[in-house]
């Protein structure tokens, strides 16, 4: 089976590298590893942090972009997940760095390479309209609001957002009901139950589902304890959580998530193409898989079949 190369649009790091902390060579190392498993492009995702460090890491990511080579997954832009979210759904984010959703505060870290911003729409002052004018994808996440009329997508559906109630609106309900909203889904077997996955895939048009990993830096490494988003994180071999038990992110990448979904009869090849449509991406390459979704060969715009 052949598909487009996979795109990771929500990934905080992997192979022991943290995009909030690492250097240029570290990002290029991750990019090379990703391509070998069928990931052709990714959006390094920055978690809540101080404005100076976010600016520094944005520059590091841009430098890595300039140095990427034929054997790298392409760095497609930055996903900013933090600083403009709701403390009621903060997860492991450090709320001391949270800012009001204003243009002024965003301009402290603004860069044209930021392509996605996850925020709490219910707290917006004047930021969402500004982002839309700039062509930045606005995603509702770490939030409680039900009005997603100005949003392009929903960040990790059901996780760190107000869930479904039979008496009132919610973020998750609006994301499911609005056919124009792209929904990120972490189908790693930890973040969402099989029944919720079935509900999501039944409710959402197939062309509006985006598979993401939300991968942590410890993904595909031998690290079992680390500090991420200023929080001590523990990995027990199945899930990564804070000391209090809050899930911090995933420890699998999208190619493995596809294997998991396929084993349950829930994978749709359309899911791979959706990120291309969402970001209006051109052809990057394709990957041939065997029957168990292991890579057989990879073709990219840089090189022929390997």
CATH of the domain at 98: 3.20.20.140
- Counts for the chain of helices (H) and strands (E), in that order: 8, 18
The CB density around residue 196, as the number of other CB atoms within 10 Å, is: 17
The number of distinct structural domains making up the chain is 1
DSSP 66-103: HH--TTS-EE--EEEESSSS-GGG-TT--GGG---B-H
102's tokens: 């204003």
Residue 305 placed within a domain: no
For helices 51-67 and 24-36, angle between their N-to-C axes, nearest 10 degrees: 60
pLDDT in tens, 272-302: 999 999 999 999 999 999 999 999 999 998 7
Residue 283 lies in a domain: yes
Residue of higher predicted confidence among 306 and 286: 286
Q: What is the pLDDT of residues 155-198, one digit of tens each?
A: 999 999 999 989 999 999 999 999 999 999 999 999 999 999 99
pTM above 0.75, yes or no: yes
Domain that holds residue 8: 2-300
Average pLDDT over residues 5-33: 98
Query: Does the residue 265 lie in any domain?
Result: yes
Is residue 250 a part of any domain in this protein?
yes
For residues 121 and 101, what is the distance between their CA atoms, to the nearest angstrom?
Answer: 9
Is residue 108 classed as helix, strand or coil in its secondary structure? coil
- Residue range 74-80: average pLDDT? 98
Tell whether 94 is covered by a domain: yes
pLDDT by residue (tens digit) across 98-150? 999 999 999 999 999 999 999 999 999 999 999 999 999 999 999 999 999 99
């Amino acid at each position: 089976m052949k598909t487009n190369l996979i795109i990771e649009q929500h990934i905080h790091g992997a192979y022991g590298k943290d995009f909030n902390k690492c250097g240029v060579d570290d990002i290029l190392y991750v990019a090379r590893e990703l391509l070998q498993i069928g990931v052709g492009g990714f959006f390094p995702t920055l978690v809540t942090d101080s404005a100076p460090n976010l600016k520094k890491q944005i520059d590091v990511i841009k430098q890595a972009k300039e140095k990427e080579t034929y054997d790298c997954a392409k760095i497609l832009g930055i996903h900013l997940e933090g600083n403009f979210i709701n403390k009621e759904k903060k997860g492991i984010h450090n709320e001391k760095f949270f800012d009001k959703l204003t243009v002024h505060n965003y301009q402290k870290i603004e860069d044209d390479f930021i392509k996605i911003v996850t925020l709490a729409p219910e707290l917006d002052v004047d930021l969402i309209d500004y982002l839309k004018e700039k062509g930045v994808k606005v995603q509702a996440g770490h939030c409680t609001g039900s009005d997603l009329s100005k949003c392009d997508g929903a960040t990790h559906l059901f996780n760190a957002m107000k869930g479904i109630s039979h008496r009132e609106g919610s973020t998750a309900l609006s994301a499911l009901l609005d056919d124009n909203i792209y929904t990120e889904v972490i189908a790693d077997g930890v973040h969402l139950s099989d029944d919720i996955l079935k509900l999501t895939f039944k409710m959402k048009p197939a062309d509006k589902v985006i598979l993401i990993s939300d991968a942590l830096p410890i993904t595909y490494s031998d690290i079992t304890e680390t500090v991420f988003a200023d929080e001590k994180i523990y990995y027990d071999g199945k899930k990564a959580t804070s000391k209090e038990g809050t899930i911090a992110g995933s420890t699998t990448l999208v190619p493995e998530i596809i294997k998991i979904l396929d084993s349950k009869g829930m994978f749709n090849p359309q899911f791979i193409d959706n990120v291309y449509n969402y970001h209006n991406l051109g052809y990057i390459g394709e990957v041939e898989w065997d029957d168990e979704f292991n890579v057989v060969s990879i073709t990219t715009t840089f090189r022929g079949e390997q």
